């Protein structure tokens, strides 16, 4: 943990060396972020609800997903950009060091410009909680925190899985975008609005539904069972295959040389 | 002219080599297409009256968006051109006795066309076989179909003229992120790729009328589904031509100005 923090602060320092460029990119992120919300906002000027979910409920759902995704973009950038390590052959350097590999990959890169997205996600989250009349109790607060945590975990898992794939293909794959960007796009809506097959796939194969659908139902008071409230815990199980896939990948790894 | 055409052919042919990228692209397009279609179906279930397009029109529009995505999307950044600007390789280009603007224009045109040629047929074929309400439908009539083809072609010329602007701006800013990314995301929204223009809030519909972005893909697709009248389509095509000339003029003179100021640092 100490090493990781040290690496983070080094990346931050190096990014801040170019102060103007950092600031400009930080601002431009705000614009880009707005374009994500635009779809939802403009469609809700024409429609009043989507299968029973109102504007602020959808925004709540989306901000939780955005939070997890951008959180990983900042703090797990090394995994997101793993294909670079493999292509350039830099991964070999990590292998000879006497420290945990995954930790080293995490330390290898970070992107503090994306902090602006995390902040914006939090703002939207607070705004939508403010507009929604939720009857708060201790369990609901727990559910909300679990959702945020699960959102970070699931994208970490997906990034890791995509990274493990690089061991075989030696290149980043466009297909991974289906699961990261595509998944993010889809999960901005409560998953229940989609057709059955889709819902099943994103419940059991990639468990987005446990991040922002089943717990959301509990949070909004549409379902009363505690099972719904604590369902984000299932996402933690999802990490097991992801991490083991990564280590299987390392065993198969042959360097590209150079 | 022949030299420029060679650039076009070069990019077109080399683009055709990336077949696995094309398949990945098609898979991505299908996934996004399905998500969009399901979202709109769910929205239409709310039973609102007075919507600007009916459900089949929207779904056909969405699939057209996906099928021609490689041709009309805003986020087409040719890494080669940006790299050239940043590492100074552009000096090799400057010694060539041809106009740099048109060299770049034809390169981007070639890339976009080769990308779309490999992608649109499977998407259109499969989606027109899908059952109601998921599938895509035919054009509203023959006249609209021909108008759609014309308008899509001119729309392509417009979007390429826009895409050339970004590396040209980078010549002055030396950074392909900041301002260029802001422009790209504005263009992305206003082009109707995210949401069809008729679903915009009214004030934005008014603003985008006076900007080039909605004349790239929104106009041809709306002509295809019959959301606009034939006369409106004809008028739209003239506006497209107008924007094409304006954008080429802006790009051409901006390029001239930026090249005068260019400093290549040794190496």
Q: What pLDDT, in 10s, does the model give residues A187-211?
A: 889 998 998 888 898 888 888 999 9
Q: Is the pLDDT of residue A254 over 80?
A: no
The angle that helices B178-190 and B202-209 make with each other, rounded to 10 degrees, is 110
A31 touches chain B (CB under 8 A): yes
Using pLDDT thresholds of 50, 70 and 90, give the confidence band for residue A173: low
Using pLDDT thresholds of 50, 70 and 90, give the confidence band for residue B257: very high
Provide the pLDDT for residue A31: 75
Which contacts (CB < 8 Å, 24+ apart) does range A249-257 have?
Answer: A249/A163, A249/A164, A249/A165, A249/A166, A249/A167, A249/A168, A250/A95, A250/A101, A250/A167, A252/A167, A252/A168, A253/A91, A253/A167, A255/A89, A255/A91, A255/A92, A256/A86, A256/A87, A256/A89, A256/A170, A257/A89
CA B244 to chain centre: 13
A19 touches chain B (CB under 8 A): no
Query: Which residues does chain A have within 8 Å of residue B46's beta carbon, measured at their own beta carbons?
Result: 47-51
Tokens found for residue A13: 């320092």
Provide the pLDDT for residue B170: 86
Provide the pLDDT for residue B68: 94
Bigger pLDDT: B219 vs A175: B219
Q: Is the pLDDT of residue B237 over 90?
A: yes
User: Nearest C-alpha of chain B: how many angstroms from A216?
Assistant: 18
Using pLDDT thresholds of 50, 70 and 90, give the confidence band for residue A257: low
Which of A32, A48, A185 lies closest to B185 in CB terms?
A: A32
Element (H, E) at B199: none
* Contact yes or no for B236/B228 (Cβ under 8 A): yes
Tokens found for residue A58: 């959808």
Provide the pLDDT for residue A108: 82
Residue A198 neighbours by CB distance under 10 Å: 16
User: Nearest C-alpha of chain A: how many angstroms from B209?
Assistant: 17
The mean pLDDT of A49-63, rounded to a whole number, is 91
Using pLDDT thresholds of 50, 70 and 90, give the confidence band for residue B226: very high
The mean pLDDT of B39-52, rounded to a whole number, is 87
User: What mean pLDDT, rounded, does chain B reach?
Assistant: 89
13-52 of B, contacting A, C-beta below 8 A: 21, 24-25, 27-28, 31-32, 34-35, 38-39, 42-46, 48, 51-52
Q: Is the pLDDT of residue A27 over 90?
A: no
* Contact yes or no for B4/B106 (Cβ under 8 A): yes
Bigger pLDDT: B224 vs B264: B224
pLDDT single digits (tens) B157-189: 999 999 999 999 888 877 777 778 888 888 888
Gap between the terminal Cα atoms of chain A: 31
Q: Is the pLDDT of residue B231 over 90?
A: yes
pLDDT single digits (tens) B129-158: 998 889 898 888 999 999 999 999 999 999
| Inter-chain residue contact A25 with B204, CB threshold 8 Å | no
Looking at the DSSP bridge assignments, the partners of residue A53 are: A50
Provide the pLDDT for residue A258: 54
ipTM surpasses 0.95: no
Q: For tokens 């010694």, what's the residue?
A: B95
Q: Helical H runs in chain A?
A: 2-16, 19-46, 55-75, 77-80, 82-88, 91-96, 101-107, 115-131, 138-169, 176-177, 183-187, 196-200, 209-212, 214-219, 226-230, 234-252
Query: Which residues does chain B have within 8 Å of residue A177's beta carbon, measured at their own beta carbons?
Result: 28
A18 touches chain B (CB under 8 A): no
The mean pLDDT of A227-239, rounded to a whole number, is 89
Q: Is the pLDDT of residue B267 over 60?
A: no
| Inter-chain residue contact A47 with B48, CB threshold 8 Å | yes
Tokens found for residue B215: 């004349």
Q: Is the pLDDT of residue B220 over 90?
A: yes
Residue A59 neighbours by CB distance under 10 Å: 24
Q: For tokens 């097959």, what's the residue?
A: A197
The mean pLDDT of A47-72, rounded to a whole number, is 91
Among A92-106, A127-141, A224-238, B51-65, where is mean pLDDT lowest?
A92-106
Query: Which residues does chain B have within 8 Å of residue A25's beta carbon, measured at their own beta carbons?
Result: 177-178, 181
| Inter-chain residue contact B42 with A35, CB threshold 8 Å | no
């Amino acid at each position: 943990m100490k090493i990781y923090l040290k690496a983070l602060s080094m990346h931050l320092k190096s990014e801040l060396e170019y102060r103007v460029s950092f600031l400009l990119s930080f601002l431009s992120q705000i614009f880009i972020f707005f374009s994500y919300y635009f779809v939802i906002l403009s469609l809700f000027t024409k429609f009043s609800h989507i299968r029973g979910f109102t504007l602020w409920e959808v925004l709540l759902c989306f901000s939780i997903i955005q939070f997890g995704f951008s959180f990983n973009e900042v703090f797990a950038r090394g995994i997101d950009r793993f294909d670079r390590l493999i292509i350039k052959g830099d991964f070999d350097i990590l292998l000879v060091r006497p420290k945990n590999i995954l930790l080293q990959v995490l330390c290898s890169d970070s992107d503090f410009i994306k902090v602006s997205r995390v902040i914006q996600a939090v703002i939207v989250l607070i705004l939508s909680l403010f507009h929604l009349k939720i009857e708060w109790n201790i369990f609901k607060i727990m559910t909300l925190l679990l959702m945020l945590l699960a959102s970070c975990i699931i994208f970490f898992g997906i990034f890791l899985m995509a990274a493990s794939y690089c061991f075989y293909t030696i290149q980043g794959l466009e297909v991974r975008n289906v699961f990261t960007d595509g998944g993010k796009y889809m999960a901005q809506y409560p998953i229940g609005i989609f057709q059955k097959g889709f819902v099943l796939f994103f419940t059991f194969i990639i468990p987005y539904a446990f991040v922002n659908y089943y717990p959301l139902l509990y949070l909004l008071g549409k379902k009363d069972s505690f099972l719904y409230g604590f369902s984000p815990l299932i996402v933690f199980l999802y990490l097991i295959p992801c991490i083991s896939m990564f280590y299987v990948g390392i065993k198969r790894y042959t360097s590209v040389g150079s | 002219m022949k030299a420029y055409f060679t650039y076009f052919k070069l990019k077109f042919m080399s683009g055709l080599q990336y077949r696995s990228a094309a398949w990945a692209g098609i898979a991505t397009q299908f996934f996004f297409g399905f998500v969009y279609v399901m979202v709109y179906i769910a929205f239409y279930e709310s039973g609102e009256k007075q919507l600007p397009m009916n459900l089949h029109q929207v779904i056909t529009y969405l699939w057209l968006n996906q099928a021609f995505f490689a041709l009309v999307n805003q986020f087409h950044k040719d890494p080669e051109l940006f790299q050239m600007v940043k590492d100074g390789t552009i000096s090799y280009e400057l010694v060539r006795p041809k106009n740099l603007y048109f060299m770049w224009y034809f390169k981007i045109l070639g890339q976009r066309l080769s990308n779309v040629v490999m992608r649109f047929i499977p998407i259109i074929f499969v989606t027109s076989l899908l059952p109601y309400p998921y599938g895509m439908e035919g054009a509203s009539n023959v006249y609209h179909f021909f108008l759609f083809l014309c308008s899509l072609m001119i729309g392509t010329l417009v979007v390429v003229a826009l895409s050339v602007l970004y590396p040209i701006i980078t010549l002055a800013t030396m950074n392909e992120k900041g301002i260029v990314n802001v422009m790209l995301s504005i263009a992305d929204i206003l082009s109707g790729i995210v949401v069809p223009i008729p679903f915009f809030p009214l004030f934005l519909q008014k603003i985008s009328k006076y900007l080039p972005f909605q004349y790239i893909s929104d106009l041809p697709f709306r002509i295809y589904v019959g959301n606009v009248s034939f006369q409106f389509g004809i008028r739209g095509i003239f506006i497209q031509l107008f924007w094409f000339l304006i954008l080429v003029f802006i790009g051409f003179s901006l390029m001239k100005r930026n090249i005068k100021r260019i400093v290549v640092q040794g190496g």
